[in-house]
Amino acid sequence: MPTVNHSNNKREHEYEDTGSPYAVNLGTAFGIPIRLHFTFLLLLLYFAFTGSGPGRWYGLIFVMILFGCVVLHELGHSVVAQRFGVEVSEIVLYPIGGVARLERMPKPKEEFWIALAGPAVNLVIALLIYIYLVIRHTGSSLVIFNLAGQHWWQSLLTFNLVMIAFNMIPAFPMDGGRVLRSILAMKMDEYRATQIASTIGQLLAFVFAFVGILNGTWPLLFIAFFVFIGAGQEATAVRGKTLLQGLTVREAMVTEYVTLPSGATLAEARDMLLHSSQTEFPIVNGDQVLGVLSRNALLQGLASVGETSYVAGSMDREFPTAEPNEELEDIAMEMQTGETGCVLVMDQDRLVGMITKENIAELLIIRQIMRRTETARS
């Protein structure tokens, strides 16, 4: 996801949207970048080299048409999300389908309609194809799935109906699981609702895997793995979000840290890295923060320009900042989804602390222990 500004001071910096790694841009729709993951190309190569004769090219073209339906499905989610004020950073196409990446977790009622929007698009596509087939007097064979080119419309209709049925299985994080989570979240807290939905999703993943092993259906095993991992990751993300609710940056920031003057050498920075637990160093000129030297930038500098070079030549001059009274939850989410190792906490252009992934992780552990203790006492 693109990193969103958290600070209102003069040092705030808006990051370039580099998008998902290993994906190429196909274009944009409704202001949303659509990207193709490189693994999708493997699927196309599979059809290109396993088929023979005209059937090979029919298969390739038909797969592209099917993924056009997948793009429309994800755009359905995305457009409804935008209507609710939820920004969509990108849509990425994988061999197993598409993923629309939302900038924030929608509220329960918003998530309900966002989740339903994708299958609704497939329903509209299926109805239009059905009407076309009825008009053409070919509506009697609507379930034939044939890639040889004689029943493309029937196959396309079947595909969209299967997409609806498959996506509406209440296996989190699929659309049906998100609908289930949203309904539960209307009656209980979001964390408990996510726990229930993710547990159901993982149980169904075991069912998918069992059926896949019995029938030798390996794609079903792959889907089971995707559902199981996705459900667990979603539950972990929501747990972290819940534990950080109500906290400010001031309550979590590191106030004991080392800064380096812009005239320091990479050798001095290397020694500081080795003799402390700090991995990100603010580079200053007096009270003015000029940049941040990360561990990776330090190592690259040592390898390329040598230890006698100044840290100012290797530091990152564009760095994220936050104010002490900002909500920690938003900062933590951006750090989790982005590549930022730390956020500098600025009070009126004065450096007063740092937020790192490590101290957020420690805070989550402490908060979880405290919550368990409180629950046990009650």
Q: How many C-beta atoms surround the C-beta of residue 31 within 10 A?
A: 9
Name the DSSP letter for residue 280: E
Max Cα–Cα distance, the chain, nearest Å: 81
Going residue by residue through the chain, which has 378 residues, state the pLDDT in tens, using 9 for 90 and above: 222 223 333 333 333 444 566 777 888 989 899 888 877 776 666 655 655 555 566 667 777 888 889 899 999 999 999 999 998 988 888 776 778 888 777 889 999 999 999 999 999 999 999 888 888 775 455 444 444 444 778 888 888 998 899 899 888 878 999 999 999 999 988 888 888 998 998 999 899 899 889 888 777 887 888 888 888 887 877 777 778 878 889 988 999 999 999 999 999 999 999 988 899 999 999 889 999 999 999 999 999 999 999 999 999 998 889 999 988 887 887 777 666 778 999 998 899 999 988 888 888 888 888 877 876 776
Q: What tokens appear for 171 in the block?
A: 């296996």
According to the model, what pLDDT value does residue 308 have?
93
Question: Got the DSSP string for 111-177?
Answer: HHHHHHHHHHHHHHHHHHHHHHHHHTT-TT--S---TTSSSHHHHHHHHHHHHHHHHTSS-TTSHHH
CA distance 3 to 90: 13
Are 308 and 265 a contacting pair, CB within 8 Å? yes
Are 202 and 232 a contacting pair, CB within 8 Å? yes
According to the model, what pLDDT value does residue 43 have?
65
pTM of this prediction?
A: 0.69
CA distance 158 to 140: 13
According to the model, what pLDDT value does residue 348 have?
85
Peptide bond into 2 cis (omega under 30): no
Site of tokens 């939302």: 102
Assign 247 to helix, strand or coil: coil
Q: Please provide residue 30's backbone torsions phi and psi, each rounded to the nearest 5 degrees.
A: 55, 35
CA distance 18 to 336: 15
Q: For residue 123, which of 153, 154, 164 has the smallest C-alpha distance?
A: 164
Q: What tokens appear for 132 in the block?
A: 């076309």
The CB-based long-range contact list for 32-37 (8 Å cut-off, 24+ gap) reads 32/75, 32/78, 32/88, 32/89, 32/90, 32/91, 32/100, 33/89, 33/90, 33/91, 34/71, 34/90, 34/91, 34/93, 35/90, 35/91, 35/92, 35/93, 36/92, 36/93, 37/92, 37/93, 37/94, 37/95
